[in-house]
Chain A
Amino acid sequence: MSADGVLRIENVGMRFGGLWALKGVSFEVRPGSIVGLIGPNGSGKTTLMNVISGVVKPAEGEVAYAGRTIADVPTHDVCRLGIARTFQVVKPFAGLTVRENVAVGAMYGRDGATLSTAACFDRAQALLEEVGLARVAERPASDLTIPDRKRLEVAKALALDPSLLLLDEVMAGLNASEVDEALHLLRAVNARGVTLIVVEHLMKAIMSISTSIVVLAEGKKIAEGLPAEIVASPAVVEAYLGARYAARQGRGRT
């Protein structure tokens, strides 16, 4: 293990009762890349996000980032390694304003101890402008629409000043132009040097933004490669659409 900023996922397995939600999953995420994590419903994407962010400890294998094994780090300290995440089911602090929600991220994030309360609010305001929520900064988070709540999740995670950001379906429920805005935002965040792991069901969006794709099905990694390779992979087509469809498509091509 080294402190080179690579996220190493080695042989990770996670079991709920008798069911393996993840089994033998290994891959690496290089600093500065955008990795798309895809797979059918129930394939273990969110579970893997929970393992990487230290919310659950894997039953097997390990995840290491910046020279530290995540399972050895308390959940509340994972963000101070530089790992931030959003939740698929958004978790706003409903009773606080939108700006306060983001400010909390700045207060206890990687550099939070060095920031004054006022500096945290200033960073929150800047991030709200970046994600397009400045117009509702003073409103309670409970007032936000679903797309705005997704934006708030991203802003809260960015407030931690992460080097690795895990995004769990932040584009679900957005319309076409909102998806474009979101992609633009993610590219801008990545351009600042933040590594991204993106879980998403919108194929067009994820294929266009990712530098590489990892495909999970039934808890196992079934493919990894460039977006163009993944689209052409028979194993991926089979996982999504079934063996018969894959076979038919394979015949058509020959």
Chain B
Amino acid sequence: MNRLLRGLGLGGITGSPQAFAVSLGIMALLLALPALHNGYLELTFRNILMFAAMSYGWNLLGGYTGYVSFGNVVFFGIGAYCSAVLSAHHVDSLLADVPVALVCAALFAIVVGVPILRLRGHYFGIATLGIALAAADLANNLDVLGGSGGLALKQVPQEQFSLYYYAMWAVALACMLGTFAIARSKLGYAFVAIRENEDAAQVLGVWPTRYKVTAYALGAMMTAAAGAVYAPANGFVDPSIAFAVDDNVFPIVMSILGGMGTAAGPFIGALLLAGLNEILQSQFVKIHSLFFGAIIVLVVLFLPRGIVYLIGLRGGMRRYLADRAAFRV
């Protein structure tokens, strides 16, 4: 049934199946990257995979339920500090770091999410922004977290360099497959029903607060996993690294560019945006942000459903114009 729906190019809330297939293909290629023994490439793509995971984390609530968080970096910070604190207690294993980070992030999301996701509209976005700012201040002043001086983690031996690349790859893949699985389940339809009309969803039996908090917590876990892998790979965490402004904004822009509320959008967005950033920074050292901003504006204006829409488009320009006229792009 679902295959039939998607075969016709409409319906289904995973987004274009072609785009998802392309994403899986690229992920398979990326698994072979360490074989090139190119440290620069490995670092660059580890960052891209990290951003992809964070973008998936944002997309689950922002893209699927339509509640925009401006503070998801908090969960990246929670993940990073979980690893750092564990390392300070001589626990240096991703097998401990990641599960602890998942639990902490989910608990934090539930505690914060239940009161503010009860509300509809813009309160949530504003509250998340406040929480992101408060978290950085808190980390700056907590001695357990090393204060503004930060925490150093155990040095990674040179021969284990690729381990963290593989770990980040696995986190990104889990986020991608997890999003796909959710979008094919009843859970995904509850999220989208809330986005499309919360009143109608409610009389159809969807408890909005419960499903919004679920989306928020699952997204928090995705983001925290990226943070938990990043910290030991980087060897050092302080508030400006754990709660960086770029890490807050980039995942949102990546989801928009790739396609919000799709299973491939965040990954494709992360690849394109990171690639674009590299090129623009090398070509236009001083004004690259200007081009960067212009490209984002153009995408929002002409492709508000992102690149995934374009990959799935059948029927060329005519179909695009018809969809645009019907606000369906």
Could you tell me which A residues sit within 8 Å of B by CB distance? 53, 55, 74-80, 84-85, 87, 91-97, 99-100, 103-105, 107-109, 112, 117-118, 120-122, 138-140, 142-143, 156, 159-160
Neighbour of A96 across the interface among B1, B184, B196, B203, CB < 8 A: B196
In whole angstroms, how far apart are the Cα atoms of A108 and B10 in the complex?
Answer: 23
28 contacts between A and B (CB under 8 A): A74-B207, A76-B205, A77-B207, A78-B203, A80-B205, A84-B203, A87-B203, A92-B196, A92-B200, A93-B192, A96-B189, A97-B5, A97-B10, A104-B193, A104-B206, A107-B189, A112-B186, A117-B2, A117-B185, A118-B2, A120-B186, A138-B5, A138-B8, A138-B10, A142-B327, A142-B328, A143-B326, A160-B205
Identity of the chain B residue whose Cβ is nearest the Cβ of A153 in the assembled complex: B200
Pairwise interchain contact B204-A156, C-beta atoms closer than 8 A? yes
What's the minimum C-beta distance from B184 to chain A, rounded to whole angstroms?
A: 7
Identity of the chain A residue whose Cβ is nearest the Cβ of B305 in the assembled complex: A95
Residues of chain B within 8 A of A91, CB atoms compared: 197, 199-200
Could you tell me which B residues sit within 8 Å of A by CB distance? 1-2, 5, 8, 10-11, 13, 184-186, 189-190, 192-193, 195-197, 199-208, 326-328
**Most chain-A Cβ atoms within 10 A of its Cβ — which of B184, B189, B195?**
B189
Neighbour of A79 across the interface among B13, B193, B196, B203, CB < 8 A: B203
In whole angstroms, how far apart are the Cα atoms of A75 and B328 in the complex?
Answer: 31
In whole angstroms, how far apart are the Cα atoms of A74 and B207 in the complex?
Answer: 9
In whole angstroms, how far apart are the Cα atoms of A47 and B291 in the complex?
Answer: 53
Identity of the chain A residue whose Cβ is nearest the Cβ of B207 in the assembled complex: A76
Residues of chain B within 8 A of A109, CB atoms compared: 204-205
In whole angstroms, how far apart are the Cα atoms of A121 and B12 in the complex?
Answer: 11
Q: With A140-B328, A142-B328 in contact, is A95–B205 under 8 Å at CB?
A: no
Residues of chain A within 8 A of B195, CB atoms compared: 95
What's the minimum C-beta distance from B142 to chain A, rounded to whole angstroms?
A: 39
Pairwise interchain contact A117-B184, C-beta atoms closer than 8 A? yes
In whole angstroms, how far apart are the Cα atoms of A4 and B203 in the complex?
Answer: 23
A interface: dominant SS: helix
Other A-B contacts than A78-B203, A93-B201, A156-B204, 8 sampled, CB-CB below 8 A, are A53-B203, A76-B207, A93-B197, A100-B5, A100-B11, A104-B193, A140-B328, A142-B328
What's the minimum C-beta distance from A100 to chain B, rounded to whole angstroms?
A: 6
Pairwise interchain contact B204-A79, C-beta atoms closer than 8 A? yes
Pairwise interchain contact B190-A108, C-beta atoms closer than 8 A? yes
**Most chain-B Cβ atoms within 10 A of its Cβ — which of A76, A84, A105?**
A76
Residues of chain A within 8 A of B208, CB atoms compared: 76
Pairwise interchain contact A103-B203, C-beta atoms closer than 8 A? no
Q: With A96-B13, A97-B11, A138-B5 in contact, is A108–B185 under 8 Å at CB?
A: no
What's the minimum C-beta distance from A95 to chain B, rounded to whole angstroms?
A: 5
Identity of the chain A residue whose Cβ is nearest the Cβ of B66 in the assembled complex: A95
Pairwise interchain contact B206-A108, C-beta atoms closer than 8 A? yes
Neighbour of A95 across the interface among B186, B190, B196, B203, CB < 8 A: B196
